[in-house]
Amino acid sequence: MEHVTVIGAGVVGICTALSLAEKGVAVRLVDRAEPGQGASYGNAGVVAPHSIVPNAAPGLWKKLPGWLLSKDGPVRIRPEHALRFIPWGLRALKHSGEAEVRRIAAAMEVLNRDNVALYRRHLAGTGHEGLIQDSMYVYAYRDGAAARLDGLDAEVRQSLGAKMIRLSQGELRELEPDLAPEFEAALAVVEQGRATNPGRVGQVLTEKLVRLGGEVIRADVKGLARAGDGWRVETSAGAFESAKVVVTAGAWSARLLAPLGLKLPLQAERGYHVVFPETEARLRNSVMDTDAKIVASTMEMGLRAAGTAEFGDADAPPDPARAAAVERALRRLVPGIGAGRLETWMGVRPSFPDSLPVIGELPGLKGLYGGFGHSHWGFMMAPKTGAMLADLVTGARVNMDLSAYSAARF
């Protein structure tokens, strides 16, 4: 096969290019930023096979007004973006019924089920195998009565194979002694994983890609056009042709594809993180504050918390108030952080209203494939997405129903 170009060097793009290179394909990875430094760089590092409950769930419409009115609420819509958000938000609410949650969760589970093993396979032999560690994913509750193994979220996870346990207040304190004592109980998903440095995972896998013969180009992609049976990729570093192209450009993917006639309801969902590099407070697992909707984990660079969903233009500047809200939430979760140095960051997640990505050949655009729209789960779903796309691009049999991820569903 002639050259394949992968546009977008987030972890989804890196895993796609790496999977292609492992099949012997000549692959070119193009992005305007350093590989692995997009939205996945700043996430909470969760690698959870059963993080499969979509964003929209029963009762969301009741919670949303309170979240939007609170300065520390987990959701914000930038005022200048409100009119563009409303149609998308209404579509998302249509997917919040229980039957839809179960359907979407099953499709998410396909993309997540092997993520720990796949990351370990990609990292094998790099000398950085320890970047993925065994962990539990702990959902901490201030109201102990809400920590129910028979609740919808937990029941959906367990029905799709998750092993979960309920922790009493005392058991939670023993597991995570630095958590605030106000948490009365927790639900823990066992046999999960976590990354100790998500950005470095992307860097290490990119280095492996280069060792396998892959080419990495740092450039802005300006446009795509047909070129005979293949595609012409216009970039700030010049133009080149490829037999096939895979678009994994995250929140910018829809903008790149729109001139080709493909209109997709992709929202830029901006997330923030804070890191305390000097704190002595530690977490042994990935921990979610189920009220604030932040996830915290101890990493190589310190104690990090990531969260919030801010809907706005992908290129809008960060809002310091959102980072401050994450900081306050982390201090409520882990009170012993102290007053040391604080680092903040913002990244842009690509989100569709049904919480599922686009994966596969794009309708009416032979040889052009998509792998974007993973919302909060891009880092988790990257290895499987990359493997699936590599199979599709090379014509290998994919023994699964891909209709849930088709761009034609919109």
| Predicted confidence (pLDDT) per residue in 316-365, tens digit | 999 999 999 999 999 999 999 998 899 999 999 999 999 999 999 999 99
Q: Average model confidence (pLDDT) for the chain?
A: 93
Strand ranges of the sheet holding 368-372, from the earlier edge strand across to the other edge? 215-218, 27-31, 4-7, 244-247, 368-372, 358-361
Q: Is the pLDDT of residue 72 over 80?
A: yes
| Predicted confidence (pLDDT) per residue in 256-276, tens digit | 999 999 999 999 999 999 999
Q: Is the pLDDT of residue 82 over 60?
A: yes
Domain locations in the chain? 4-40+200-263+355-409, 52-95+136-193+266-351
**Domain 52-95+136-193+266-351 classified CATH 1.10.260.40?**
no
pLDDT confidence tier of residue 400, bands split at 50, 70 and 90: confident
Gap between the Cα atoms of 314 and 351, Å rounded:
11
Q: Rounded to the nearest 10 degrees, what angle do helices 198-211 and 11-22 cross at?
A: 30
pLDDT confidence tier of residue 2, bands split at 50, 70 and 90: confident
Query: What percent of the chain shows pLDDT beyond 70?
Result: 98
Q: Is the pLDDT of residue 375 over 80?
A: yes
Q: Is the pLDDT of residue 36 over 90?
A: no
What pLDDT, on the 0 to 100 scale, is given for residue 68? 75
| Predicted confidence (pLDDT) per residue in 45-70, tens digit | 999 999 999 998 888 777 777 877 78
pLDDT confidence tier of residue 38, bands split at 50, 70 and 90: low
| Predicted confidence (pLDDT) per residue in 193-227, tens digit | 999 999 999 999 999 999 999 999 999 999 999 99
Superfamily designation of domain 4-40+200-263+355-409: FAD/NAD(P)-binding domain (3.50.50.60)
Gap between the Cα atoms of 371 and 245, Å rounded:
11
Contacts of 99 (CB under 8 A, 6+ apart): none
Gap between the Cα atoms of 369 and 20, Å rounded:
13
Contacts of 113 (CB under 8 A, 6+ apart): 49, 161, 384
- Whether pTM exceeds 0.85: yes
